[in-house]
Amino acid sequence: MTAPTTSPGALLTLQDVTIAFRTSRGEVPVTRKVSFSIGRGERVGLVGESGCGKTVTGLSIMRLLPMEVARIHGRIDFEGQDLATLPERQMRAVRGKDIAMIFQEPMSALDPVFTVGTQIAEAWLAHQKNGSASEARERAIKALAQVGIPLPERRFDEYPHQLSGGMRQRVMIAMAIICEPKLLIADEPTTALDVTVQAQIMDLLRDLSERTGTAMLFITHDLGVVAETCTRMLTMYAGEVVEDAPVDNALMRPRHPYTSGLLRSLPRLAERHARLSSIPGRVPSPTGMPAGCRYRERCEFAEAACTAEQILRPVAMAGELPRQARCVRADELELRGAVS
Ligand SMILES: Nc1ncnc2c1ncn2[C@@H]1O[C@H](COP(=O)(O)OP(=O)(O)OP(=O)(O)O)[C@@H](O)[C@H]1O
Ligand SMILES: [Mg+2]
């Protein structure tokens, strides 16, 4: 068992969560023993290259994986309930109310034949026993205003195609926050938007979290987004969490060579004169995972000890907040951070 970094009063704790898909070749695990916690009101970034298991981890918390082929092993504790095994009927009461999710492409989640206002109101009504249509309308207009949509009464009656991409993403956020969820999962929420709009949406999400106390899990490739928005950062590699640290520590003094590699391949955070370098090699596929450290074949610091299984273990130095890394050399290596 690997110990998660438990935040005091944790809202969500994943404990040894392994997600596997049934395929013609049998059950294939795509994540392995993922453990982490999110505290109330905390904003956590989940980063890693494509295929590392970020989306499936987010979907497992919402239990939105295709359950006919997916299996969730381990425990997903949310306020004392295990979401991995909660009956679907009870899960429906949690989904959208206590935990909400927004995705990269808002059009796929909005229905083109209903006005945006109706859809936001519906998201609220779905979780009320005796909600009236007039109160739902009022709340939807308030939510539209909260996400920075001008003239919300007028926008209420518009259809998704009448809005810009940025506005549609704001509508998605309004739908996600209308029930005042305790946790919002955002999976690449700005990738489809242009750069200025991206920054506005990220500012909006951070402000909402600060104002309402909603905890957020940001799934992203973009370490710049994490630097500006989050308090903690989880790095995933090949289905495993390899580093879990307060965001400043993770960015300035990474303890896992993979986190350091990601930082060096990022233009905005890399040192001004440092040369950009992408990490050589690629993420191994779920059916071809190497034994021992999964990163060792790409790691410039690999040594014989790396062929042994590594665990996520505490690596905080004196005076540092709790942090963990899955690297046998974590205490000894001087790794480059964003500014070093
Ligand atoms: N329905 C599925 N059936 C089988 N394998 C799947 C399924 N969904 C995802 N996977 C596999 O799970 C692994 C993790 O995928 P995931 O989408 O979580 O990666 P990601 O980190 O979100 O990547 P990206 O940054 O590209 O979004 C990948 O190897 C992917 O092929
Ligand atoms: Mg993804």
Whether 75 and 34 have beta carbons less than 8 Å apart is answered as no
Cα gap 213→235, rounded to integer Å: 24
Please, which pLDDT band fits residue 20 given cuts at 50, 70 and 90? very high
Residue 322, pLDDT > 60, answer: yes
φ and ψ at 43, to 5 degrees?
-115, 115
Q: What is the dihedral of CA 277, 284, 323, 41, to 10 degrees?
A: 100
Q: Where do the domains of the chain lie?
A: 10-98+181-325, 109-179
Q: Is 207 helix (H, G, I), strand (E, B) or coil?
A: helix
Please, which pLDDT band fits residue 338 given cuts at 50, 70 and 90? confident
Top-confidence residue, 54 or 1: 54
Q: Is 132 helix (H, G, I), strand (E, B) or coil?
A: coil
Average pLDDT over residues 167-175: 93
Q: To the nearest whole number, what is the mean pLDDT of the chain?
A: 91
Whether 251 and 227 have beta carbons less than 8 Å apart is answered as yes
> Which residue out of 23, 49, 52 has the highest number of ligand 1 atoms within 8 Å of its CB and is therefore the one to mutate?
52
Write out pLDDT tens, residues 137-158: 999 999 999 999 999 999 999 9
Class of domain 10-98+181-325: alpha beta
**Which helix (H) or strand (E) element contains residue 16?**
strand 10-23
Whether 240 and 313 have beta carbons less than 8 Å apart is answered as no
Cα gap 252→302, rounded to integer Å: 22
Residue 98, pLDDT > 70, answer: yes
Sign of CA dihedral 119, 45, 240, 274: positive
Cα gap 310→320, rounded to integer Å: 22
The encoded tokens of residue 247 equal 């965001």
Ligand 1 atom showing the smallest separation from residue 285 Cα: 29
Q: What spacing in Å lies between the alpha carbon of 57 and ligand 1's midpoint? A: 9
Ligand 1 atom 6: the closest Cα is on which residue? 21
Which pLDDT value is given to residue 2? Answer: 46
Q: What spacing in Å lies between the alpha carbon of 203 and ligand 1's midpoint? A: 28
Please, which pLDDT band fits residue 277 given cuts at 50, 70 and 90? low
**Which helix (H) or strand (E) element contains residue 228?**
helix 223-229
Least confident of 42-46, 74-78, 261-265: 261-265
φ and ψ at 94, to 5 degrees?
-80, -45
Residues with CB under 6 A from ligand 1: 21, 30, 48, 50-56, 66, 221, 286
Residue 272, pLDDT > 70, answer: no
Ligand 1 atom showing the smallest separation from residue 23 Cα: 4
Ligand 1 atom 9: the closest Cα is on which residue? 56
Top-confidence residue, 174 or 190: 174
Q: What spacing in Å lies between the alpha carbon of 227 and ligand 1's midpoint? A: 24
Q: What spacing in Å lies between the alpha carbon of 97 and ligand 2's midpoint? A: 23
> pTM score, two decimals?
0.93
Which pLDDT value is given to residue 8? Answer: 57
The encoded tokens of residue 116 equal 């945006």
The conformational region for residue 144 under phi > 0 = left, psi -120 to 50 = alpha, else beta, is: alpha
Ligand 1 atom showing the smallest separation from residue 221 Cα: 25
Cα gap 127→121, rounded to integer Å: 11
Ligand 1 atom showing the smallest separation from residue 286 Cα: 29
b/e per residue, 28-54, with b = 16+ CB within 10 A?
Answer: ebbbbbbbbbbbbbbbbbbbbbebbbb
Which pLDDT value is given to residue 329? Answer: 97
Q: What spacing in Å lies between the alpha carbon of 117 and ligand 1's midpoint? A: 33
Sign of CA dihedral 310, 306, 283, 273: positive
